[in-house]
Amino acid sequence: MSSTITREEFASAVASAITSVHHLYREVDRLITGLCAQLAEEPDSLVLLPGVFRKAGPSQTRRIIRNEYGLLFTFKIGEDDDGDEDEDDVEDDGDEPEEGLNHKPQKGTSAQIGANQALLAVRVVLVDPQKRESFEPQIQYAVMNQWSAGNKHWDSKEVFEVRNSELKRVPKALVGSDPTKGFPLTTKAAVKSSLGAKRADGRRLCCVLPVGVETIPLFNLDTADALDELVKNMKLMWSSAQSS
């Protein structure tokens, strides 16, 4: 027997659901904003790689509901690099998380990744459509390096050009990853071109996870101290990867 509700109860339920969604994604935005700001601090300053991250929406009236968020961080080379502008955006927009960090590179732009370049990949996962009720919201992170394409041997001098639309697929590769140190990983991101590789599989961007993957429940990040500890552990992983 199906239950019935009044028009007033229906209106109240809809308003409550939308308010809850706004609150959830606002808090996630603030979490990511704080994470980016603290990772940009010295020592081992890491800045957000433009073109990968997109937030829930530019305003309260236009939310994009996402199952997960992917971010890639790279080492800050110097005070004059492009990372300064990104870092300023993080700090200046902290009170308005819907717009902060929402960088919009020109359509069709690409990033270049050196074969020996290290990147910190982060996934903030709110829901897994395959697991539904049994899934716990979580954050995954790992350092990626030793980049290659397809089954080609690693060449430390090689540089890969990857469209931003493809680069977004890199953090997603952490799902189901073996946490074993040195685990090789094939992403679904395709390099823009690779000599002698016409098939899609031959252009897949591959990497190594020198210190494995870490996963923590999102539920645990309920205080400023917890965020500080997360950033500390991310930077410890980064340092460990550089020395391995």
Q: Is the pLDDT of residue 46 over 70?
A: yes
At 88 the pLDDT is 33
Q: Is the pLDDT of residue 104 over 80?
A: no
At 22 the pLDDT is 87
pLDDT, tens only, 186-213: 899 998 865 544 555 578 899 999 999 9
Of the ranges 4-13, 63-72, 149-158, 196-205, which is most confident?
A: 4-13
Residues contacting 173, CB < 8 A, separation 6+: 121, 185, 186, 187, 188, 189
Question: Cα separation of 164 and 75, whole Å?
Answer: 18
Residue boundaries of the structural domains of the chain: 7-243
Helix (H, G, I), strand (E, B) or coil at 129: coil
DSSP class of residue 59 equals B
Band (pLDDT 50/70/90 cuts) for residue 141 is very high
Question: Cα separation of 208 and 212, whole Å?
Answer: 9
What percent of the chain stands above pLDDT 90?
A: 42
At 210 the pLDDT is 93
> Among the listed ranges 90-99, 119-128, 135-144, 163-172, which one has the minimum average pLDDT value?
90-99
Question: Cα separation of 27 and 69, whole Å?
Answer: 13
The answer to whether 103 and 89 have CB atoms below 8 angstroms apart is: yes
Q: What's the whole-number mean pLDDT along residues 81-102?
A: 37
Other beta carbons within 10 Å of 134? 7
